[in-house]
Amino acid sequence: MQKATQETTLNRSLGFWSALSLVVGTVIGSGIFFKQSSVLDSAGSTGMALLAWLLGGLITLTAGLTIAEVGAQMPHTGGLYVYMEEIYGKLWGFLSGWMQIAVYGPAIIASIAAYLGILLVGFFNLNGVWQAPLAIGVIVLIGILNMFENRWGAAFQIATTLGKLLPIAAIIIFGLFYGDQDAFGQSLKTVSQSTGSFGVAVLATLFAYDGWSLVANLGGEIKNPQKLLPQAIILGISLVLIAYTLVSYGILHFVDANTIHRLGQQTTVYFANAAFGTIGGRLLNIGIIVSMVGCLNGKIMTFPRIVYAMAERNQLPFSKQLSYLNKKSHEPIVATLVILVYASIMILFFNPDRLSDLCIFTVYCFYVATFVGVFLLRRRNRDLTRPFSTPGFPVTPLIAILGALFVIISEIGSDLPGVALSLVIVAIGIPVYYWKSRTSN
């Protein structure tokens, strides 16, 4: 493993609130606002839809509790990439990082930015040709912000996280106190037209909960990460679980099931207009825009850290350049630029949403391997004191494993060609790994 020769290092300056806002901010994007109809359609009734949101959150919480034990033992920059390398060896660590930087990370950034571009065009009544330039412009501005000291990106993350909580609170309060529908007792009259099943509904919520683990990429920049990282992950997921369940309950208590089925992705906008008037729809759009900007900021903060961590180990082409840290800001600005350029190309020439869907399978493959790693680490390090231990072991990690396997099996059953393509993308990393291993010796 090649040591970095530069004296400049990442700033270990992020506190608890920064880490917590990253967990909440990178999870809550647009999913909670746009997935109400798809979850309800798959579940078939309001009660089962609420149960799907709750169960998806509980599965995610068990995953967070499990990863927290691993992360507390390896508080380094790189997150999942570092965990896989430590548990299973350099090749598997490399493939985990390769998958995230080759497609998954840039595609997710591009996908969120593309949807944000659509919202901005509609909000300002612009011509559709502005969609891609606005999307690229937003990620460039956020990228520039994250080239300054990490406290600026962290402060922006806290502000946008607080901002996105306002529309969530409004939906919850109005839905709970002014709704007159039975949030638990409605079934879709058009249930024969609904697609999927309860399992598909849970799967949709798991995707909406995804992103919580990205804060681990900043393990080398968090103060006292052995303590704060588990706290941020567990509390962050718990807050998102409560918010998602209450938002869903509020909407289902105010809008009847068949109207939600008919409105589809426009359900939340309908709710806002009905509850607060025409201006409510625009205010909600502002809330969603703030939510998506905050989500983008969290991902633009975290994904370049994987590039940096891999380049610091000389595992990537142009590792010297990619591992460069600005001497004043201590930020990996070259790695950030590469991610931004890659994401911008995807916005212009590809369907980034499809690309990110393809990589969900491989992300969860590495998730389940890390969950199994908790058992391996306990056996391997049985005489060492753990900074954090997963509550309810071994039941908690077993639930996390079963949840991840559920996603994997569901993806294989619903999109076998996509699964095969995602495995090919990961496999391309194998010759890259061995090529760099030879050239660095």
> What pLDDT, in 10s, does the model give residues 129-182?
999 999 999 999 999 988 887 778 778 888 888 888 888 888 888 888 887 777
Helix axes 278-312, 150-178, angle to 10 degrees: 140
Q: Supply angle C-alpha 99, 208, 344, rounded to 5.
A: 50
Is pLDDT at 196 greater than 70 in this prediction?
Answer: no
What is the distance of C-alpha 412 from the center of its chain? 21
pLDDT digits (tens, 9 = 90+) for 157-166: 888 888 888 8
What does the block give as tokens for 187? 């079934």
What is the distance of C-alpha 93 from the center of its chain? 19
Is pLDDT at 60 greater than 70 in this prediction?
Answer: yes
Summary mean pLDDT of the chain: 84
DSSP 318: T
Q: What is the CA radius of gyration of the chain?
A: 21
Q: Which of 17-21, 83-87, 130-134, 234-238 has the lowest mean pLDDT?
A: 17-21
Place of tokens 């703030």: 290
Entry pTM: 0.83
Is pLDDT at 364 greater than 70 in this prediction?
Answer: yes
How would DSSP label each residue in 311-370?
A: HHTT-STTHHHHT---TTT---HHHHHHHHHHHHHHHHHS-HHHHHHHHHHHHHHHHHHH
Distance CA(287)–CA(117), nearest Å, equals: 15
Q: Which of 6-20, 117-131, 289-303, 319-333 has the lowest mean pLDDT?
A: 6-20
Contacts of 6 (CB under 8 A, 6+ apart): 323, 324, 325
What does the block give as tokens for 356? 């990110």
- Span 380-401, average pLDDT: 91
Residue-level pLDDT at 22: 81
Q: Output the CA–CA distances (angstroms, integers) from residue 223 to 56, 141, 229, 347, in the order listed.
A: 30, 27, 9, 35
| CB-based contact 182:255 (threshold 8 Å) | no
Distance CA(260)–CA(255), nearest Å, equals: 7
Is pLDDT at 437 greater than 50 in this prediction?
Answer: yes
Specify which of 87-101, 219-233, 266-280 reaches the highest per-range mean pLDDT.
Answer: 87-101
Buried b (16+ CB within 10 A) or exposed e, 73-91: bbbbbbbbbbbbbbbbeee
| CB-based contact 275:254 (threshold 8 Å) | yes
Residue-level pLDDT at 178: 81
Is pLDDT at 13 greater than 70 in this prediction?
Answer: no
- Span 237-266, average pLDDT: 87
Q: So what's the architecture of 16-184+195-439 in CATH?
A: Up-down Bundle (1.20)
Distance CA(428)–CA(423), nearest Å, equals: 9
Backbone phi, then psi, for 269, in 5-degree steps?
-65, -40
Backbone phi, then psi, for 77, in 5-degree steps?
-65, 130
Instruction: Determine what percent of the chain is predicted with pLDDT higher than 70.
Output: 93
Residue-level pLDDT at 189: 59
Comparing 26 with 333, which gets the higher pLDDT? 333
Residues in the chain: 441
- Span 416-431, average pLDDT: 89
Instruction: Identify the three-state secondary structure at position 77.
Output: strand
Residue-level pLDDT at 153: 76
- Closest by CA to 112, choosing from 289, 313, 287, 345, is 289
Long-range interactions of 140-144: CB distance < 8 A, separation 24+:
140/340, 140/344, 142/293, 142/296, 142/297, 142/300, 143/300, 143/336, 143/337, 143/339, 143/340
pLDDT digits (tens, 9 = 90+) for 345-356: 999 987 766 776
Helix, strand, coil shares, percent, the chain, to 5 = 80, 0, 20
| CB-based contact 382:82 (threshold 8 Å) | no
Residue-level pLDDT at 237: 92
- Span 92-103, average pLDDT: 91
Helix H or strand E segment including 152:
helix 150-178
Q: Output the CA–CA distances (angstroms, integers) from residue 179 to 26, 47, 182, 416, in the order listed.
A: 30, 16, 9, 42
**Max Cα–Cα distance, the chain, nearest Å:** 69
| CB-based contact 146:297 (threshold 8 Å) | yes
Is pLDDT at 238 greater than 50 in this prediction?
Answer: yes
Instruction: Identify the three-state secondary structure at position 218.
Output: strand
Q: Supply angle C-alpha 104, 106, 108, rounded to 5.
A: 65
Residue-level pLDDT at 383: 81
